[in-house]
């Protein structure tokens, strides 16, 4: 329930700055304007229920992201036999990685699309290739058709998650922005688990893998239709000079009494160059380079940790360890979802930086268990339990921080002027590395052996811990405007 605004004298405002109720206090020079205009400080947070439906619709794209990551995991063998490339490991790798190549293309254009047509229309545009691509994959009779369908789906996957991170950060009240950001990871987990469960009958039922692709058309269609009724990002509207529309959307998301403070926060960043479109070249030099470098490196470490090798090939890896693939996939999904739920609870309490540090350290330790399990010093049963336990601990640790935090954190630390295009650049780094991990993991596992490969992954996790300690700032509880003022140096 929303509280009534309270008018405070200037002297009393600064006496109460330590109170947790006042997280977005105005500058001293702004107080006289506030009192003259009859607008006081809000003593309560906005009602989180207003923005929740909009966030939930946006996370459908994350559900689709997770679903298409795992949709070929279980049925891959059936697909290869039906389409005539059974036993060809390179072709199987292409079925996985072509989707990632499409995602790279989608992510490269995501900033331009999100800034050009708005967040809502960008969501709808991301749903379209996922509908068409899934239909092509479901009806194809050859490898070429499968690759085309996977590429189209990937282009939608590359666009959707980038826009989701932007949208959730921009429509969420600051006190629950971390929690709402965790919904993205939870939706991804649910999509991944859904694809694994739906894929279980693929070995027994001929052609079931086609059903797996058809199922994904339903949530993609819901996303395209439901976005028509969601709020547009007020930040995007304000940036385009559509202030009256921004106020209307803020009222939908925060409530009437919080509109003026929200617009006031945006006006503090109303610089003359904000109305101009940012060029990609500006992201690699000058005042913007540092935050773009931090974002790109975080996503690079996220993928170099080896997490998607686990998701793409968990069935194959567990099968080699003697664990039934059905059971392995269920365990991986439960570990991923459990960690994501814990992250949602802790995100706005423990903060982003602490979760990142704990997550990467846990992943490094889990890879250490994998290395030990692959050694010749342990008996077979002990190595088996240690290998499975290490894999599940790795997934759990990832879901606690390295999975949900980077997308949310980057949407928070990027200034409004470059936010969409900077996210596009960072996610492009993510997809490039993701592509090569998906393409080369099984081959590297054969050439290097599990001990060497998992040691490499563990090293990258430890490097990530050092990087986070030196470069990542805490953004918990701060408005996007406060974060921008803190991080961005003046020209």
Q: Which of 50, 61, 158, 194 minimizes the C-alpha distance to 427? A: 158
Tokens of 143: 């490898």
3-state secondary structure of 165: helix
CA dihedral (261, 263, 265, 268) in degrees, to 10, reads: -130
Tokens of 330: 């269920």
Its pTM stands at 0.78
Tokens of 248: 């209307």
Enter the CATH code of domain 48-230+268-487. Answer: 1.20.1250.20
Q: What is the DSSP letter of 118?
A: -
Tokens of 100: 């990632």
Q: Which of 428, 437, 431, 426 minimizes the C-alpha distance to 460? A: 437
Per-residue pLDDT of the chain (491 residues; tens, 9 = 90+): 344 444 444 444 333 444 433 344 445 444 444 434 434 444 488 888 899 999 999 999 999 998 998 898 778 889 988 998 887 878 887 887 788 889 889 988 998 999 899 999 999 999 999 999 999 999 999 999 999 999 999 999 989 988 998 999 899 988 888 889 889 989 998 998 888 889 888 888 888 999 999 999 999 999 999 999 999 999 999 988 899 999 999 999 998 888 888 888 777 764 444 445 667 777 887 778 888 899 899 999 999 998 877 766 666 667 766 677 667 777 888 888 899 999 999 888 888 899 999 999 999 999 998 888 877 676 667 777 787 788 889 999 999 999 888 888 888 888 888 888 888 888 888 888 877 877 787 778 888 888 898 899 999 999 999 999 998 888 887 777 777 776 665 54
3-state secondary structure of 255: coil
């Amino acid at each position: 329930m929303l509280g009534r605004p309270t008018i405070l004298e200037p002297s009393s405002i600064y006496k109460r700055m330590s109170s947790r109720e006042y997280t977005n206090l105005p500058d001293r020079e702004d107080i006289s304007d506030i009192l003259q205009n009859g607008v006081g400080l809000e003593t309560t947070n906005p009602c989180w229920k207003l923005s929740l439906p909009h966030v939930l619709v946006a996370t459908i794209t994350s559900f689709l992201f997770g679903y298409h990551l795992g949709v070929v995991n279980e049925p891959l063998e059936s697909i290869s036999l039906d389409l005539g490339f059974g036993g060809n490991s390179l072709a199987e790798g292409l079925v996985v990685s072509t989707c990632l190549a499409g995602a790279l293309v989608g992510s490269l254009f995501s900033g331009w699309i999100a800034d050009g047509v708005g967040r809502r229309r960008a969501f709808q545009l991301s749903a379209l290739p996922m509908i068409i691509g899934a239909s092509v994959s479901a009806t194809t009779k050859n490898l070429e058709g499968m690759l085309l369908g996977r590429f189209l789906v990937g282009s939608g996957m590359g666009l959707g998650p980038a826009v989701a991170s932007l949208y959730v950060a921009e429509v969420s009240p600051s006190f629950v922005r971390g929690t709402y950001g965790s919904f993205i990871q939870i939706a991804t987990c649910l999509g991944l688990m859904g694809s694994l469960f739906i894929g279980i009958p693929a070995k027994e039922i001929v052609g079931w893998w086609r059903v797996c692709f058809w199922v994904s058309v339903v949530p993609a269609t819901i996303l395209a239709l439901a976005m028509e009724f969601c709020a547009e990002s007020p930040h995007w509207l304000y940036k385009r000079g559509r202030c009256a529309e921004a106020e209307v959307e803020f009222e939908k998301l925060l409530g009437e009494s919080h509109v003026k403070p929200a617009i006031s926060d945006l006006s503090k960043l109303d610089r003359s160059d904000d109305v101009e479109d940012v060029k990609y070249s500006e992201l690699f030099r000058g005042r913007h380079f540092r935050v773009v470098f931090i974002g790109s490196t975080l996503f690079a470490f996220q993928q170099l940790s080896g997490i998607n090798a686990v998701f793409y090939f968990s069935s194959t890896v567990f099968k080699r360890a003697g664990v039934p693939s059905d059971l392995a996939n269920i365990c991986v999904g439960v570990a991923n979802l459990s960690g994501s739920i814990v992250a949602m609870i802790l995100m706005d309490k423990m903060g982003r930086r602490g979760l990142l540090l704990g997550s990467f350290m846990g992943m490094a330790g889990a890879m250490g268990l994998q290395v030990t399990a692959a050694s010749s010093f342990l008996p077979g049963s002990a190595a088996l339990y240690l290998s499975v336990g290490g894999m599940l601990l790795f997934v759990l640790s990832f879901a606690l921080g390295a999975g949900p935090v980077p997308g949310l954190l980057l949407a928070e630390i990027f200034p409004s002027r470059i936010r969409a295009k900077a996210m596009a650049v960072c996610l492009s780094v993510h997809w490039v590395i993701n592509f090569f991990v998906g393409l080369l993991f099984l081959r590297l596992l054969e050439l290097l052996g599990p001990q060497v490969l998992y040691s490499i992954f563990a090293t990258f996790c430890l490097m990530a811990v050092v990087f986070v300690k030196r470069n990542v700032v805490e953004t918990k509880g701060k408005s996007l405007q406060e974060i921008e003022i803190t991080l961005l140096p003046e020209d």
